[in-house]
Amino acid sequence: MLFGKTIVVTGAASGIGARTAELCAGLGADIIGIDVKEPRQPLAGFIQGDLSKPLGVAEIVARLPLRIDALCNIAGLSGAPGATPTVAVNFYGLRALSEAAAPRIREGGAIVNVASIAGYGWRANLNRAKSMVAIAGFPDVAAVLKQHEVAEAEGYPLSKELLLLWTQLAAQQPLFKSRGIRVVSVSPGPVETPILGQFRQVFGDARVDADIAATGRAATASDIAPVIAFLCSDGARWINGTNIAADGGLEAAVNAQILGY
Ligand SMILES: NC(=O)c1ccc[n+]([C@@H]2O[C@H](COP(=O)([O-])OP(=O)(O)OC[C@H]3O[C@@H](n4cnc5c(N)ncnc54)[C@H](O)[C@@H]3O)[C@@H](O)[C@H]2O)c1
């Protein structure tokens, strides 16, 4: 399905990114991993780098291959390290990497962003998200959060709200649209990876356990990786500017509760 494609995977050293790299390689792609940590599995290429800072993103971009078929933005922080690094990695660093990589992504290629059900509130908080997404480039994130009066505990959900909104906007942005580059997102619910323990600290056991109970179990990285692989493939060529819930039905359950049906 992905034979001969070059796919860049951020967060390739752990969890969903590691499984996506393994699966896409098995489907014939050459994987270029990006992570702060060394991946355990061998990859066609690996760029060690830090997406939390403009310089880190610039250093990564300088080492990217000249031709990329898909960019999977999977690296992320849970909120536990603080709102500033979380919003920096999960949104502004991700967007800076995507915009800088765009000229290297082939016509008809794809950007697949891993968002989350935690970003469900993007519509309810739309004005804040619009204002923060409108800030171009990779800003001083601490100053942006202060200006928007973002509480520490909001860092993670906010980062995913921004990502869900930007995914829809980016699909219409000439940088991507003029060359037929699709921009899509995948939103998991709880997934059994190292970050899940941190979510328990940030959101509390009750919230995480309630989400798991709503679908019967937590996902594994193997439940999410095939969705990302499909979205990278030409079979997904008419899926653009939208979010795919890969959550075992959690969003449907939340919708029923919030919208009252
Ligand atoms: N696990 C879940 O329950 C869950 C649920 C919904 C969404 N997600 C999202 O899925 C994505 C992957 O998470 P995961 O579950 O695989 O977690 P994980 O902690 O196993 O993997 C995250 C990876 O991102 C890398 N990373 C973190 N900061 C970085 C930085 N500054 N620069 C480069 N790499 C960095 C880490 O080193 C790690 O390898 C994240 O965006 C997360 O928000 C996870």
Tell me the per-residue pLDDT of 175-224, one tens digit each, with 9 for 90 and over: 999 999 999 999 999 999 999 999 999 999 999 999 999 999 999 999 99
Tell me the per-residue pLDDT of 139-169, one tens digit each, with 9 for 90 and over: 999 999 999 999 999 999 999 999 999 999 9
Question: How far, in Å, from the CA of 78 to the mean position of ligand 1?
Answer: 7
pTM of the model: 0.98
CB-CB neighbours of 62 under 10 Å:
10
Q: How far is CA 169 from CA 24, 177, 240, in A?
A: 27, 10, 11
At 197 the pLDDT is 94
30 with 45: CB under 8 angstroms?
yes
> Using 50, 70 and 90 to split pLDDT, how confident is the model at 1?
confident
> Using 50, 70 and 90 to split pLDDT, how confident is the model at 39?
very high
Percent of the chain with pLDDT over 70: 100
Backbone angles phi, psi at 232, to 5 degrees: -75, -20
At 228 the pLDDT is 98
> Is the residue at 33 inside a domain?
yes
For residue 198, the ligand 1 atom closest to its alpha carbon is 19
> Is the residue at 1 inside a domain?
no
> Using 50, 70 and 90 to split pLDDT, how confident is the model at 2?
very high
Take atom 19 of ligand 1 and give the residue whose Cα is closest. Answer: 195
3-state secondary structure of 225: helix
DSSP of 121-171? GGTTTHHHHHHHHTS-SS--HHHHHHHTT--GGGHHHHHHHHHHHHHHHHT
Tell me the per-residue pLDDT of 217-254, one tens digit each, with 9 for 90 and over: 999 999 999 999 999 999 999 999 999 999 999 999 99
4 with 28: CB under 8 angstroms?
yes
Which residue among 8, 14, 31, 217 has the greatest number of ligand 1 atoms within 8 angstroms of its CB, and so is best to mutate?
A: 14
Mean of pLDDT values over 106-120: 97
Which residue among 16, 50, 163, 164 has the greatest number of ligand 1 atoms within 8 angstroms of its CB, and so is best to mutate?
A: 16
Percent of the chain with pLDDT over 90: 100
> Is the residue at 109 inside a domain?
yes
> Is the residue at 198 inside a domain?
yes
Tell me the per-residue pLDDT of 89-101, one tens digit each, with 9 for 90 and over: 999 999 999 999 9
Take atom 26 of ligand 1 and give the residue whose Cα is closest. Answer: 75
- CATH number, domain with residue 36: 3.40.50.720
Q: Which domain holds residue 170?
A: 6-259
> Is the residue at 78 inside a domain?
yes
Residues with CB under 6 A from ligand 1: 10-11, 13-17, 35-37, 50-52, 74-77, 89-90, 114, 116, 188, 190-191, 193-196, 199
> Is the residue at 108 inside a domain?
yes
Residue of 126, 130, 164, 159 whose CA lies nearest to 251: 164
> Is the residue at 211 inside a domain?
yes
Spatial distance between the Cα atoms of 120 and 165, rounded to a whole number of angstroms: 11
Mean of pLDDT values over 106-128: 97
Question: How far, in Å, from the CA of 157 to the mean position of ligand 1?
Answer: 14
Spatial distance between the Cα atoms of 35 and 49, rounded to a whole number of angstroms: 6
Please say if 120 is a catalytic residue: no
> Is the residue at 52 inside a domain?
yes
For residue 195, the ligand 1 atom closest to its alpha carbon is 19
Question: How far, in Å, from the CA of 77 to the mean position of ligand 1?
Answer: 6
Which residue among 193, 203, 220 has the greatest number of ligand 1 atoms within 8 angstroms of its CB, and so is best to mutate?
A: 193
Amino acid at 100: A
179 with 101: CB under 8 angstroms?
no
At 168 the pLDDT is 98
> To which residue do tokens 């323990």 refer?
197
Amino acid at 104: R
> Using 50, 70 and 90 to split pLDDT, how confident is the model at 12?
very high
Q: Is the pLDDT of residue 119 over 90?
A: yes
**Total domain count, the chain:** 1
Spatial distance between the Cα atoms of 234 and 3, rounded to a whole number of angstroms: 11
